[in-house]
Amino acid sequence: PSNGHTCVGCVLVVSVIKQLAQVHNSTVQASMERLCSYLPEKLFLKATCYLVVRTFGPDIIKLLSADMNADVVCHTLEFCHQGPGQALCHLYPLPKEAWKVTLEKARQIVKKSPTLKHPRGG
Amino acid sequence: ADICVLPFLAKICQKIKRTITNSVPFRDVDSDNYSVSPTLRGYHWRGRDCNDSDEMAYPGRRPDRWDEHRDSNCNGIWGVDPKDGIPYEKKFCEGSEPRGIVLLGDSAGAHFHIPPEWITASQMSLKSFFNLPTALTDELDWPQLSGATGFLNATSGIKENSIYLHLRKRNRCNHRDYQNISKNGASSQNLETFIERYVEEVVLEAGIPTHCPTFTFLNFTVQCDPSGGRGFGMCMHLCCNLVRSFLFLLTNRGIDPVPKMTTPEQFYSKVMETLKYLNARLPKGSHVILYGLPDGTFLWDHLHSRYHPLGQLNGDVTYGQLYAFLSCLQVSPCHGWMTANETLRTLTSQRAAQLSNTLKKIATSQKFTSFRLYYVDFDFQEIIRKWQKRGGQPWQLLEPVDGFHPNEVALLLLADNLWDKVRLQWPQVLGKENPFNAQIEQVFGDQGGH
């Protein structure tokens, strides 16, 4: 199962990306670039940000553009994980349609994604 | 997999490991546990070294031959008064009972803080993350602004001082004598290792004739140990030949839902174990203050329906939702009070009160050869009342991003409150007011700053 802290981190970052796009009325791509541009060079923070954007950006763009919230994005990218018999952990109010339907739809959107080929462990 | 097996990395890996496990500075040329750089357990955490190429010069040590020729204890006072040939350290500090402060604590003691501007899109700009590198290399802690060892001016503008700044004001000979040896996630489970390492590292050092008085207090105030453990607080005040220790047993919030809740019996034995450990190591003349638990229901009461910074833009995330999310993921720092379950909150508060009574019982019934025992209530409600009298709101005393830790204002109000209690009830603990403070300032100015 995904580490709880990883899930919290993912939901936090995706929320900020989504809200930056909303505040600046920009695309998700532009919002991610903006966020990275705000980070200092020190400790490779900016470089790491661009690397993460290059790796997960395309999937995040597709999912947020389909109006998925941070919970759905992070479960789809498997940073959050609902184990068998475990409760569904979510920060935002649940989507109107059934969670399973939403998640399945999201998974279809990123089905061919190269990032999901590798187990989330990395 | 383990990059540290590479021969050319072995040494630096070992250094990093020592820094992390022993909470000692990463950059420390003379290996005296004091540093000239701020982060990575540097002078944000412990008094700044005034000579990083001399292992016998560091803050808090007993002055070497009254510092005639050099500042061996880094308090900025050294040399000889040309008028009478008396060393300044002797003239201004001898007999003034100088002492420093050491804190062994958890995230609250180290002042864990995630700036809300890091996650507030509407206010985000190039300036928002300027402090991120410093914060990361300080483990997201800000000990330089903490209630125990803070030495910088409060960013909140509040006038209250940290315990260290109070000590320094009382006796300028205490300059730079602070150590914040706290760790995020410290709890009773790893407390003993923590104390042992600390006691070996610092207290024994205090035992040998170089270390000067240190007022050390250990403060695991809010650690909710998911494994049902407990936090403790301990305070030791070490005098050159006498060691006085205050044990702030800030028991914890390591309260797990009912089955794993810390029982008074478990707590009693853990506390006695720790007290006996210290009794065997601290020189005579110590003092121990057992510090009760607050009633953490104020977290839910004052925050649950307020919007979290992530929820302020669209009005869609409250602290209640955040608490539920963290609990669901089993990463909640305080499941017993950060919950919608009123029964659990009540149960947790009842148990907290029982644990506080356990401390009272120990303080009134137990005698130790090395220290005297006192008990002080941890009365957060008193802090809230004081803050409200100044027109403040209770929610302004808590960290906005994690909705749990006391923020800088709360930590400084707590420190001030504690200082007043100790000063009024046990003034001998804090040493005397130094009558030479003004002369020290006149001759040495800011004593080299921090």
Alpha carbon distance B291, B232 (integer Å): 9
Alpha carbon distance B187, B386 (integer Å): 29
Q: With contacts defined as CB-CB under 8 Å, which chain A residues touch B314?
A: 19, 22
CB contact under 8 A, B329 and A39: no
> Going along B32-120, which residue ranges are E strands?
100-105
Q: Is B12 on the interface with A (CB under 8 A)?
A: no
Encode pLDDT of B100-158 as tens digits: 787 777 888 899 999 999 999 999 999 999 999 999 999 999 999 999 999 999 999 89
CB contact under 8 A, A12 and B310: yes
Three-state SS across A54-95?
A: HHHHHHHHHHHHCCCCHHHHHHHCCCCCCCCCCCCCCCCCCC
- Give me the total of CB pairs closer than 8 Å, taking one residue from chain A and one from chain B: 73
| Interface ipTM | 0.94
Residue B358: which of B226, B288, B280, B262 has the closest Cα? Answer: B262
Kindly identify which residue of chain A lies nearest to residue B311, measuring between CA atoms: A92
Kindly identify which residue of chain B lies nearest to residue A45, measuring between CA atoms: B133
Q: With contacts defined as CB-CB under 8 Å, which chain A residues touch B339?
A: none
Q: With contacts defined as CB-CB under 8 Å, which chain A residues touch B137?
A: 43
Encode pLDDT of B228-286 as tens digits: 332 222 222 221 222 222 333 333 344 445 666 778 888 888 888 878 887 887 666 66
CB contact under 8 A, A93 and B137: no
| Of B27-41, B256-270, B289-303, B324-338, the least confident | B256-270
- Lookup: tokens for B343: 């029964």
Measure CB to CB from residue B121 to each of A5, A23, A40 and give the nearest one. A23
Q: Is B315 on the interface with A (CB under 8 A)?
A: no
B293 — pLDDT class (breaks 50, 70, 90) = confident
Percent share of chain B, pLDDT over 90: 55
- Lookup: tokens for B117: 């501007």
User: Which residue carries 């800011």 as its tokens?
Assistant: B446
B17 — pLDDT class (breaks 50, 70, 90) = confident
Residue B60: which of B152, B181, B155 has the closest Cα? Answer: B181
CA distances from B320 to B268, B327, B339, B381 (A): 33, 11, 7, 21
Kindly identify which residue of chain A lies nearest to residue B120, measuring between CA atoms: A16
- The pLDDT score that the predictor gives to residue B260 is 67
CB contact under 8 A, B121 and A8: no
Q: With contacts defined as CB-CB under 8 Å, which chain A residues touch B325?
A: 8, 11, 89-91
* Chain A interface, best mutation among B313, B328, B339, B341, by max A CB count within 10 A: B328
Q: What is the mean pLDDT of residues A87-98?
A: 93
* Chain B interface, best mutation among A41, A89, A91, by max B CB count within 10 A: A91
What is the average pLDDT score of chain A? 91
Q: Are the C-beta atoms of residues B238 and B244 closer than 8 Å to each other?
A: yes
CB contact under 8 A, A89 and B122: no
- The pLDDT score that the predictor gives to residue B294 is 80
What is the average pLDDT score of chain B? 83
Contacts of A6 (CB under 8 A, 6+ apart): A79, A80
Q: Is B118 helix (H, G, I), strand (E, B) or coil?
A: helix
Q: Are the C-beta atoms of residues B182 and B221 closer than 8 Å to each other?
A: no
Q: Are the C-beta atoms of residues B231 and B115 closer than 8 Å to each other?
A: no
What are the catalytic residues of B? 107
Alpha carbon distance A121, B432 (integer Å): 58
Measure CB to CB from residue B130 to each of A5, A19, A40 and give the nearest one. A40
Measure the CA dihedral B58/B232/B236/B358, to 10°: 180
Residue A91, min C-alpha distance to chain B (Å): 5
| Of A72-76, B343-347, B374-378, B429-433, the least confident | B374-378
Sheet (strand B100-105) strand order: B178-180, B100-105, B214-219, B233-238, B243-246
CB contact under 8 A, A35 and B119: no
Residue B142: which of B118, B185, B103, B111 has the closest Cα? Answer: B111
Q: What is the mean pLDDT of residues B409-418?
A: 93
Residue B13, min C-alpha distance to chain A (Å): 17
- The pLDDT score that the predictor gives to residue B365 is 94
- Lookup: tokens for B35: 């540093």
The strand pair at B100-105 and B214-219 is best described as parallel
Encode pLDDT of A95-106 as tens digits: 888 999 999 999
Q: Is A89 on the interface with B (CB under 8 A)?
A: yes
CA atoms within 13 Å, Cβ hemisphere of B438: 1
Residue A8: which of B111, B140, B117, B321 has the closest Cα? Answer: B321
Q: Is B340 on the interface with A (CB under 8 A)?
A: no
Q: What is the mean pLDDT of residues B44-71?
A: 94
| Of B26-40, B93-107, B249-263, B411-425, the least confident | B249-263
Query: Does the pLDDT value for residue A45 go beyond 90?
Result: yes
Between positions 105 and 164 of B, the ones with CB within 8 A of A are 119, 121-122, 124-126, 128-130, 132-133, 136-137
Q: With contacts defined as CB-CB under 8 Å, which chain B residues touch A87?
A: 328
Specify the DSSP class assigned to residue B1.
-
Q: Is A7 on the interface with B (CB under 8 A)?
A: yes
CB contact under 8 A, B119 and A87: no
The strand pair at B178-180 and B243-246 is best described as unpaired
Encode pLDDT of B344-370 as tens digits: 999 999 988 998 999 899 999 999 998
